[in-house]
Amino acid sequence: MSVTTAPQAPLQKPQEPKRGIASRALEALLTQRIVLLAVLIVVVLLVMTVLDGADILSGSYNSDYLAASLINAVPLAMLGLAQLGVILSGRGGIDLSVGSMVSVTGIAFGMSYGLWGWNLVIAMIFAVVLGGILGGINGALVSFIGFPPLIATLATFYAYRSIALVWSGQKPVNSTEIQTFYSAAKAIELPLIGSYLPLIPLGIFTFLIPVVVVVWVLLNKTTFGRRVYALGTNNTAAVWAGINVRPNRFAVYVLSGLISGLVGIVTVAQFASARPDAGTSGNGMALPAITIAVLGGVAITGGIGRVSGVVLATVLIVWLNAGILLAFPGNDGVQVQLLALGLVLVFASLLNGLTRRRYGGI
Amino acid sequence: MTALVTEPTEKPIVRRILPPPVTGQEFVLVGVIAVLWALLGIFTPSFLSPSSIQPLFVSVAPIALIGVGMTFIIITAGIDVSVGGAIALCAVVTAKLLVNFDVPLIVAVLVSMVLGTVLGLVNGVLIAYGRVHAIIITFGTANIFQFFALRIFGSSTVNNIPSTLDVFGRGESGRTLGVPHSFAITVLVVVAAWWYLRNTAGGRHLFAIGGNANAARLAGVKVQPRTVLAYAITGALVGLGACFFIAAGTSTLDQGVGTGRELAVIAAVVIGGTSILGGRGSVIGTLLGAILVQTVNSGVTQLGWPSQLANLFVGLFIIVAVGTDLLRERARRRKA
């Protein structure tokens, strides 16, 4: 249109072209991460059930097995939520030290409850508060001194892991008290309708669901949560909007430490001993936690991410891993799980990038 | 700030004639290392003997060598945490070639370097063209590399690795005039990398990408190919470094050969003064950082302390090194 001609019609937004249901379904699949995850969970369940029916799996992939495997979801989802808060806060937020914090707080809990004979509740509070302090060190380095989170938590990953190993003399802490604490990880029957359903691991109710609820309320129903999203979306804008950025960024790292403290207690129950390498053995706990967060649709640049995505991503990974263990028995299964986790992380992050460019959101 | 040539005025005459290979952070590091060596020399009489210093430099070599590549990557504001998995994969392939197929050493080393380059290319292409944050991609590929390494290992170790690799450093055959060959090669690579970063357009482009990728692109830098190159170079150095790791050990290669190495390398780079935010960095600092990290490791063992304590010190060193860098940066900005 040349400049001289008067506009014939009032300026209108161009009419959206009529789109088929397939195109809209694709957009929903790509922009609504929970839709994609729900579809993928169904796919995993279907594929594994078919494999099971064809007698390819070494065990049966039934509801009891799936329920029992949920025990692995407890630490995974909790640490995924810890990463959610930290990554949401933006500025390259990430917490590599969660595994080390799990190790230290696990040893703290094991020592205080199992060896020094502290009351169970006090020992738990001790472990969680210690986790909060360790997270606070991360938070202080990042928010008050201005360390890049990657480097701050890399340094504390080293330091905390070292503390856990030296404190425990590189040996697991074990005693009768800790062994009986194993019952905290046992599977239970749900009240009322439980007899019709598979047994559910107790940790889901005592640790995971409370943490999910608390994190969801914090992020979605409090001003603190809005501030975290705001400073992840645009830190400068958040400053000019009058948000006191530093204490809020500090707080997400403390939250990560507190959750790691709870996971420390969970691992003591699961292993029936406090292991100094509980959170750092193999590839450590930070990697799966970050994978869960990214798969759950959390944008690594901050400001985008939801609790529901993290929870569904955990369920997907846990049930996928459970199936892999049946399809590849023994050591092979553990290795294939590594491969699957890596492929899922690469795939999910490429997908996040594609979705962001094409639709401007996740 | 180390190698930027953006401050042409008011330089001391000596500096103008001899472009400084070392600046603030490097001088501090040399000082810290000297103090540590002096203290260790006093408290453990054996520390400064050749039988103790030579193994120290054999262990420095692979960390510093791979650190050169990591410095390139971090200068572009990227990171590679898949180095541990890549080391494991290159090392086990090299070891298997030497043990099962009896290939000449040079072939095994070349295969390892080519394999490493391919792994680096995978990372680089995914990061540069997938436009995804480097840490996420390399976290993913770390697992994938680890998987293939474990598969090739089969059982948990490779035994009876022939001693041909000794030529890189361990024992008499690996030293000339008392200098381990692996360390000499590393120093050569460091010097070449320093020259590349300082005196070639390609090197300057890496700084430009790390400083501001968009500005660099508008200024005509081919951002994506340069980024891929940085990861590929790191891969090639990982391939060579993996051979150094095998050569530094016994005739048995363990599955855990790569575990945690990426962190040691990143620690060396960061302690050496390279900014994790990109745009600033020095390979000579990385060499000094690697010497510092390995001195701490070796010192803790020789003092008879729990070996795990070394990691606490490495963590503290990272915090102090980055912290002083941040404070200096803040002071500079206040002055400006």
Predicted confidence (pLDDT) at residue B6 exceeds the cutoff of 70: no
Residues of chain B in contact with residue A350, where contact means CB-CB under 8 angstroms, are: 126, 130, 132
pLDDT band at A214 (very low <50, low <70, confident <90, very high): very high
Across the range A210-237, mean pLDDT stands at: 92
Short-list B334, B230, B242, CA closest to B274: B230
Are residues B311 and A162, on separate chains, in Cβ contact within 8 Å?
Answer: yes
Are residues B147 and A338, on separate chains, in Cβ contact within 8 Å?
Answer: yes
The verdict on residue B88 lying in a domain is: yes
Across the range B128-142, mean pLDDT stands at: 87
Predicted confidence (pLDDT) at residue B3 exceeds the cutoff of 70: no
Other CB atoms within 10 A of residue A269 CB: 22
Place of tokens 């072209």: A17
pLDDT digits (tens, 9 = 90+) for A299-323: 888 888 899 999 999 999 999 988 8
**Per-residue model confidence (pLDDT) at position A2:** 47
**B79 Cβ under 8 Å from any chain A Cβ:** yes
Residues of chain B in contact with residue A170, where contact means CB-CB under 8 angstroms, are: 306, 308
Residues A111-118: contacts with CB under 8 Å, at least 24 apart: A111/A167, A111/A168, A111/A173, A111/A274, A113/A177, A113/A178, A113/A181, A114/A173, A114/A174, A114/A175, A114/A177, A114/A178, A114/A181, A114/A274, A115/A173, A115/A175, A117/A177
Phi-psi region of B4 (alpha: psi -120 to 50; beta: other; left: phi over 0): beta
The verdict on residue B126 lying in a domain is: yes
**Per-residue model confidence (pLDDT) at position B303:** 83
Q: B253 lies in which domain range?
A: 49-258+275-280
pLDDT band at B15 (very low <50, low <70, confident <90, very high): very low
Are residues B318 and A300, on separate chains, in Cβ contact within 8 Å?
Answer: no
pLDDT band at B132 (very low <50, low <70, confident <90, very high): confident
Are residues B267 and A145, on separate chains, in Cβ contact within 8 Å?
Answer: no
Q: What are phi and psi of A201, to 5 degrees?
A: -60, 135
Are residues A151 and B322, on separate chains, in Cβ contact within 8 Å?
Answer: yes
**Per-residue model confidence (pLDDT) at position A14:** 60
Residues of chain A with pLDDT > 70, as a percent, come to 90
pLDDT band at B324 (very low <50, low <70, confident <90, very high): confident
Dump strand ranges (E) for chain A: 187-188, 200-201
| A:295-354 residues touching chain B, CB 8 A cutoff | 300-301, 335-336, 338-339, 341-346, 349-350, 352-353
**Per-residue model confidence (pLDDT) at position A17:** 65
The verdict on residue B177 lying in a domain is: yes
The verdict on residue B70 lying in a domain is: yes
The verdict on residue B291 lying in a domain is: no
Instruction: Name the DSSP letter for residue B222.
Output: -
Phi-psi region of A43 (alpha: psi -120 to 50; beta: other; left: phi over 0): alpha
pLDDT band at A287 (very low <50, low <70, confident <90, very high): confident
The verdict on residue B161 lying in a domain is: yes
Across the range B156-178, mean pLDDT stands at: 74
Across the range A236-246, mean pLDDT stands at: 89
Place of tokens 């990728």: B213
Residue of A nearest to B153 (CA): A335
**Per-residue model confidence (pLDDT) at position B14:** 46
pLDDT band at A264 (very low <50, low <70, confident <90, very high): very high
**Rounded (5°) CA angle A52-A55-A59:** 65
Instruction: Name the DSSP letter for residue A173.
Output: B
Smallest Cβ distance to B147: which of A339, A345, A352? A339
- More confident: A360 or B273: B273
pLDDT digits (tens, 9 = 90+) for B17-57: 444 445 567 888 888 888 888 888 888 877 777 777 888 88
Q: What are phi and psi of A58, to 5 degrees?
A: -85, -15
Are residues B143 and A338, on separate chains, in Cβ contact within 8 Å?
Answer: yes
CB A106 within 8 A of CB A279: yes
Beta bridge pairs of residue A201: A187
Most confident of A125-139, A197-211, B143-157: A125-139
Q: Tokens at residue A219, please? A: 């992020």
Range from A27-41, A179-193, B204-218 carrying the lowest mean pLDDT: A179-193
The verdict on residue B265 lying in a domain is: no
- pLDDT averaged over every residue in chain A: 85
Residue of B nearest to A300 (CA): B133
Are residues A146 and B330, on separate chains, in Cβ contact within 8 Å?
Answer: yes
**Per-residue model confidence (pLDDT) at position A196:** 67
Predicted confidence (pLDDT) at residue A129 exceeds the cutoff of 70: yes
Predicted confidence (pLDDT) at residue A32 exceeds the cutoff of 80: no
The verdict on residue B244 lying in a domain is: yes
- Name the domain count of chain B: 1
Cβ-based neighbours of B287, under 8 Å, separated by 6 or more: B60, B64, B67, B186, B187, B190, B272
Predicted confidence (pLDDT) at residue A232 exceeds the cutoff of 60: yes
